[in-house]
Homo-oligomer: A and B are copies of this chain.
Amino acid sequence: MAQTRWLTADQQDAWVRFAAVLELLPAALNSQLERDEQLSHFEYFVLAMLSEAHDRRLRMTALASRTNSTIARLSRVVSRLEAQGFVARVPSDDDGRVINAVLTDLGWQKIVHAAPGHVENVRHNVVDALTAQQVEQLRTISTLLLERLDPKGAMLASVRPSTTRSNGKRGD
């Protein structure tokens, strides 16, 4: 192709492969969850973020930020989760404009039920496919990429400082 000279052959090779991962890995995560739990990965992630939040609740804007979604998208997904009884919308007492998304007991049961299969899938497709050293390299690389992609670090609000080893407890 015309622009071939813009990247070296090695860089291109790395990028072509990485781009393929970008396409296939999210699809793999989605299909396991959809098959086993009738949940998209995004829906799973919303439930997971709520399950880790204080009081199992988060205002819509905060939840949108942590899941890196637009508020519009989140609003629609929460509506679906609400219809299934996994989440409830509770208006804030302090500020009449804000809505808190609250994980219901049923929602908690759902995420607890779904988590092992999902984690197993992550383990199979990512963690077990790499050496411990490569997992560490991937962590470093991801951190560097996120600095470009998400300078504010909104999505990593729940994650420890970037260059320090994490001891935090948090699932995905």
Chain A interface (Cβ within 8 Å of chain B)? 1-4, 6-7, 9-26, 28, 48, 51-52, 68, 111-112, 115-116, 118-120, 122-127, 129-130, 134-150, 155-156, 159-160, 165-172
A140–B134 touching, CB < 8 Å: yes
Shortest Cβ gap from A169 to chain B (Å): 5
A142–B3 touching, CB < 8 Å: no
A134–B144 touching, CB < 8 Å: yes
A148–B125 touching, CB < 8 Å: yes
Shortest Cβ gap from A111 to chain B (Å): 7
Given contacts A136-B14, A137-B137, A166-B9, contact A115 B21 (CB under 8 A): no
B149–A25 touching, CB < 8 Å: yes
Which residues of B lie under 8 Å from residue A25 when comparing CB positions? Answer: 22, 145, 149
Known contacts A6-B119, A20-B146; 19 further A-B pairs (Cβ under 8 A): A1-B51, A1-B171, A3-B116, A7-B123, A10-B166, A13-B159, A14-B135, A14-B142, A17-B159, A18-B139, A20-B142, A20-B156, A23-B26, A23-B68, A24-B155, A28-B149, A124-B148, A134-B137, A137-B137
